[in-house]
Chain A
Amino acid sequence: MVAILNIDWQTLADALALGGIYALMAVGIGLVFGVLRLVNFAYGQLIMAGAYALAFGSEWNLPVWVSILFCFGVVLVLSVAMDRLVFRPLRGHAPAVMLVATFAVAYLMQSVALLWFGSLGTIATSLAPLNRPWDIGGVEIRKIAIVSVLVAAACLVLLRLLLDRTSVGLHMRAASMDFLTARMIGVRANRVIGGAVLISGGLAAVVAVMMTVQTPLVTPDFALRDTIVVLAGVVLGGMNRPVSATLGGFTIGFASGLLGGALPTGQSQYLDSFLFVAVILVLLVRPDGIFARSRGGIERV
């Protein structure tokens, strides 16, 4: 297959890496959606904030681990602030209202970044060595591709363990199935939501670290396109279950990476068109998502 489509190993590794990163974003969005029924469009702007933290870290010559910590700190504080200031007052509103509200927050954060940092962008260099290739059996592959795949896999496994083996995880799964009933039998709403928001923020920070290696130039619209692609991926996979949303994120990332490498130069500018037309065509056949288990019934009140 690799030879037929004229795809080299680097493209395949990049596609896997992009799939991994998008899967993490899909999980971050999916976790919060699970407990709050809220699609967080401002997720990309959390990543953007983390990327700025990394960029300023390298501008101030902080050690790499300090700037990564700084990135986590900024993203987590912002996630919690977003939960308190926006998600909490909106709890219980219609999903469409919440989606528009997070769209407003996304635009707000992006314009604040534009106002503070300007449109030219800042460069994050501290992790640049990861962009160099590794020689694996005569095939050269950029380190970051391998690191991304490994980090994404590790995060997903850890998350699975957390959800399956801990009581917080159990509460979270219960809440995403039926929030009201879960509360009635003693699940603390704020703790579960807080947990989901924190994990989702942590994943955003991880994504920020890996994305700045691939695209070191951090601008106010950093990760904006990626968020739109991931949201399409979440719909493609099926929004109702976290697993199908994650698989959808991975699929669209992988497809995007593969298409980006396989399209001839004259057509590579139409990558987005090919990608999104494919999404719409798939949804034409499976409106509930390719990985959805069964037709979702009507949500009862």
Chain B
Amino acid sequence: MRRLSTWLELAAPAALVVLAALLGTSASQSNQTYFIDTLVKVAIVVALYVFIGNSGVLSFGHISFVALGAWTAGVLSVPVAEKSAIMPNLAHFLHATAVGNVPSLALAAAAGAVCALVFGLPLMRLSGLAAGIATFAMLEIVHNLLRYYEKIGPGLNTFSSVPQTTGIGQATIGALIAVAVAFAYQRSRYGRTLRATREDPAAASATGISIYTQRLIAFVLSGALAGFAGGLYVHFLPLNTEVVYLDLTFITLAMLVVGGATSLWGAVVGALSVSALDSFLAAAENGVTIAGHTLDLPAGTRLVVVGVLMAVVLIVRPTGITGGREFHLPRRGR
């Protein structure tokens, strides 16, 4: 029975992802983009969960890993012939190389991990709350550099000509990989140790756990996942720096918090449910017809509704809609 409940922790979120993907394949071409977007967001939110959920420390900076992953995968997979058109100032060695889809995703993950290590070394030494706020510094630095440093990317321009390999298939596989890695981590010794520091930092350090090291390990792993998700993202949409900045930070944090930040199940449920709401509102901003009534919301309603939802969930049920617990079968009444 215990074995079964362990595997359900992995199987339940994975099944939800597959279910969303199956719904996506049956949707029309224009609606399918919403499903792909949702699956990429699942990967990002799971990456956030690996650090925030297990450590209890907030991070407003993970979108910088997504951005960096997107830039790495994007720059390296634009065909050499088209590079000078959109990135005229690109550094020479980047200009001459182009890699395939899968290597570009692996390199995106590597870039996210390296970036997380570099920033994590100083930031993870801070106390929990200060570390959370200081991750904003990371977001600002990466955003600022990607926006203006044209030797490593398109700068202010939009990333066009990246092969659009992230269809519903790749997005699903990507989200499943993220879920599997997060599961493996949380079952591992490191995941358990980090959760111990979350529950009681004083008791954890008293048993000889280095909070710094454990947080850093999770930070780097979730940086890698976020970079990987960024790679998926750039293969799906032509991004620019503003797409991978504060709005995405807000919406992904909202997903994690609404679902329940302390469980993988919560991260996936939150990402899927908020995405569903968000996609519906985005469509409604352009006008949708439901049962004969046309709903046409003014632009900007999306963020208002998601903001209200996030604030209300935090006030009424701070552990999120799943209660921050892993998926479990309902117990038989005794």
User: Least Cβ distance of A186 to chain B in Å?
Assistant: 29
User: Least Cβ distance of A227 to chain B in Å?
Assistant: 9
Point out the residues of chain B lying under 8 angstroms from A99, CB to CB.
58, 129, 132-133
A203 within 8 A of B: no
- The residue in B123, B137, B147 that gathers the most chain A C-beta atoms within 10 A of its C-beta is B137
- Complex interface residues of chain A between 36 and 61 (CB less than 8 A to chain B): 39
Point out the residues of chain A lying under 8 angstroms from B58, CB to CB.
96, 99-100
User: How far does the alpha carbon of A273 sit from the alpha carbon of B147 in the complex, in Å?
Assistant: 11
A290 within 8 A of B: no
User: Least Cβ distance of A295 to chain B in Å?
Assistant: 10
> Are the C-beta atoms of A89 and B134 separated by less than 8 Å?
no
> Are the C-beta atoms of B254 and A270 separated by less than 8 Å?
no
Point out the residues of chain A lying under 8 angstroms from B20, CB to CB.
none
- Complex interface residues of chain B between 2 and 56 (CB less than 8 A to chain A): 56
> Are the C-beta atoms of B315 and A101 separated by less than 8 Å?
yes
B140 within 8 A of A: yes
Interface size counted on chain A using CB atoms at 8 A: 46
Of the listed stretches A107-115, A143-151, A171-179, chain B binds A107-115
Q: Given A108-B304, A270-B145, A273-B145 in contact, is the A101-B311 Cβ separation under 8 Å?
A: yes
> Are the C-beta atoms of A272 and B141 separated by less than 8 Å?
yes
> Are the C-beta atoms of A283 and B134 separated by less than 8 Å?
yes
Point out the residues of chain A lying under 8 angstroms from B137, CB to CB.
232, 276, 279-280
- Complex interface residues of chain A between 268 and 301 (CB less than 8 A to chain B): 269-273, 276-277, 279-281, 283-284, 287-289, 296, 298
Point out the residues of chain B lying under 8 angstroms from A231, CB to CB.
133, 136
B148 within 8 A of A: yes
User: How far does the alpha carbon of A283 sit from the alpha carbon of B122 in the complex, in Å?
Assistant: 7
> Are the C-beta atoms of B133 and A104 separated by less than 8 Å?
no
B60 within 8 A of A: yes
> Are the C-beta atoms of B141 and A235 separated by less than 8 Å?
no
Select from chain B the residue with minimum beta-carbon distance to A33.
Answer: B129
User: How far does the alpha carbon of A281 sit from the alpha carbon of B125 in the complex, in Å?
Assistant: 12
Of the listed stretches B79-87, B166-174, B295-303, chain A binds B295-303
Q: Given A239-B129, A277-B141 in contact, is the A104-B123 Cβ separation under 8 Å?
A: no
Main secondary structure of the interface of B (DSSP, over half): helix
Point out the residues of chain B lying under 8 angstroms from A154, CB to CB.
none
Select from chain A the residue with minimum beta-carbon distance to B52.
Answer: A96
> Are the C-beta atoms of A115 and B134 separated by less than 8 Å?
no
A155 within 8 A of B: no
A123 within 8 A of B: no
User: How far does the alpha carbon of A111 sit from the alpha carbon of B306 in the complex, in Å?
Assistant: 10
User: How far does the alpha carbon of A281 sit from the alpha carbon of B127 in the complex, in Å?
Assistant: 16
User: Least Cβ distance of A110 to chain B in Å?
Assistant: 8
A279's contact among B134, B201, B298, by CB below 8 Å, is which? B134
A283's contact among B126, B136, B307, by CB below 8 Å, is which? B126
Point out the residues of chain B lying under 8 angstroms from A281, CB to CB.
122
A90 within 8 A of B: yes
Select from chain B the residue with minimum beta-carbon distance to A301.
Answer: B202
> Are the C-beta atoms of A296 and B127 separated by less than 8 Å?
yes
A269's contact among B60, B125, B148, B246, by CB below 8 Å, is which? B148
> Are the C-beta atoms of B148 and A107 separated by less than 8 Å?
no
B128 within 8 A of A: yes
User: How far does the alpha carbon of A298 sit from the alpha carbon of B125 in the complex, in Å?
Assistant: 14
Select from chain B the residue with minimum beta-carbon distance to A119.
Answer: B300
Known: A107-B303, A272-B143. 9 other contacts (CB 8 A): A99-B132, A100-B58, A104-B250, A232-B134, A235-B130, A269-B147, A271-B144, A287-B126, A288-B127
| 11 A/B residue pairs, CB under 8 Å, sorted by A | A94-B56, A96-B56, A96-B57, A101-B315, A103-B60, A107-B250, A239-B127, A276-B144, A280-B137, A283-B134, A287-B130
List B residues at the A interface (Cβ < 8 Å). 56-58, 60, 119, 121-123, 125-130, 132-134, 136-138, 140-141, 143-145, 147-149, 201-202, 246, 250, 253-254, 257, 298-304, 306-308, 310-311, 314-315, 318
